[in-house]
Structure 1
Amino acid sequence: MIDATQQAGQATQAAQKIALVTGAGSGIGRACARKLLANGYAVVLVGRRAEPLEALAAEAHAAGQTALAAPCDVTDVAAVEALFEAVHARFGRLDLLFNNAGRNAKAVDIDELSVEDWRAVVDTNLTGVFLCTRAAFALMKRQSPRGGRIINNGSISAHAPRPFSIAYTATKHAITGLTKSVSLDGRRYDIACGQIDIGNAATEMAGRMAHGVPQANGEIAVEPLMDVELVADAVLHMAQLPLAANVQFMTIMATKMPFVGRG
Structure 2
Amino acid sequence: MNELFHNAAPNATRVAPPLPTPRQYPSHKPAEVYLFGTCVVDLFFPEAGMDAIRLLEREGIRVHFPQDQGCCGQPAYTSGYTEEARRVARRQLELFAEDWPVVVPSGSCAGMLREHYAELFKDEEETREQVKRLAERTFELAEFLLHVCKVQLQDQGAPTKVALHTSCSARREMNTHLHGRALLAQLSGVERVEHDHESECCGFGGTFSIRMPDISGAMVADKTRALQDSGAAQVVSADCGCLMNINGALAKQRSALSGQHLASFLWQRTQGSARSGQ
Is the pair's TM-score, using the shorter chain for normalization, greater than 0.5? no
Q: Which has the higher contact order (CA 8 A, sep 6+)?
A: 2
Normalised to the residue count of structure 1, the TM-score between the two structures is 0.33
Structure ranking higher in strand proportion: 1
Normalised to the residue count of structure 2, the TM-score between the two structures is 0.32
